[in-house]
Amino acid sequence: MIKLFASDMDGTLLNPNHVISDTTAQAIRDLQAQSDIEFLIATGRDYRSAKWLLDQHQLTARIIAVNGAATYDVKGNLEDVFALDLADTQTIIERFAVPGTQTLVSLKSLNGYYVNDLALYRQRMEAFMDHAKEATSDDSLAQLELHFKELLPLKDYQPDLDPPLKIMLIDRRPEILETARHFLKDFAIDLTSSGPDNLEITSLKAQKGLAIEAYCQHHGFTKHQVLTIGDSANDRSMLAMFPNSYAMANAGQAIKDLASYEAPSNAEDGVAHIIYQLLKQMK
């Protein structure tokens, strides 16, 4: 019997407008009200961003944030942190945060969000927002506005005062990202991606699957009592490590190959579909 339902956010729990739909929010409430199954978020987002999305529907959940680098209980208390090595962080920043290269380097620390080129980041964000006004909801635009306000210059980052959790390299040129992969291949890091224009760098210990496994060991759950669902490369560990795993229909084939089953797409409220399927099986 399933005791833990672990869901990714972007591309999975969130619809194409980057919000939790009313249908999916109600499904989560029904899961929590009609069963003893715990609903858990496992996301590449930081805690504040993930919590804001849940708050729009008055939902509560344990949150594994920043791809497993930080875990928070349902009250927002920090439980675990797996930070990047400080020397590796400095080396990566010095290698890629070079003025004029058009490569954006963002760093998510425990308490802040830093970018190497604020002007370029703003330019790309504003272009996205202009397009998004035609395609997304007011809630999605509000998320972008909040994120825009929290950005800080990367040069102001002080790693000895604020642990580095994730570095993201953002570049639309595939050859630049491939060069970065080659440079990073010997680092003791977890290297993944949440889209075709980025690389995500975290500690080797900061993986969604490992974070879920640690939680299961603490609470006495077996791997067969866990359901995981996701859509992208940063979900690969939690899809591969647990037998009751679902890839979204909107996932790439490589991700589908890691999962045991396939769920409807995020445009079709796929998470809600699996929740109601699970509740029906329990009756």
Task: Give the domain range for residue 241.
Answer: 4-82+207-282
Task: Choose the final residue of a domain: 161, 183, 203.
Answer: 203
Same domain, 120 and 196: yes
Task: Choose the final residue of a domain: 182, 203, 224.
Answer: 203
pLDDT of 175 strictly over 90 = yes
CATH of the domain at 184: 3.30.1240.10
Same domain, 211 and 195: no
Same domain, 133 and 214: no
Give the residues across from 263 on adjacent strands: 248
pTM reported for the whole predicted model: 0.89
Task: Choose the final residue of a domain: 187, 203, 219.
Answer: 203
- Given a contact cutoff of 8 angstroms between Cβ atoms, the answer to whether 70 and 167 are in contact is no
Measured CA to CA in angstroms, residue 232 lies from 3, 39, 177, 192, 253 at distances of 24, 20, 17, 9, 10
Closest CA to 39 of 48, 135, 50: 50
Average pLDDT of span 53-77: 97
Tens digits of per-residue pLDDT, 98-153? 988 889 999 999 999 999 998 888 787 777 656 645 555 556 666 667 777 789 99
Domains contained in the chain, number: 2
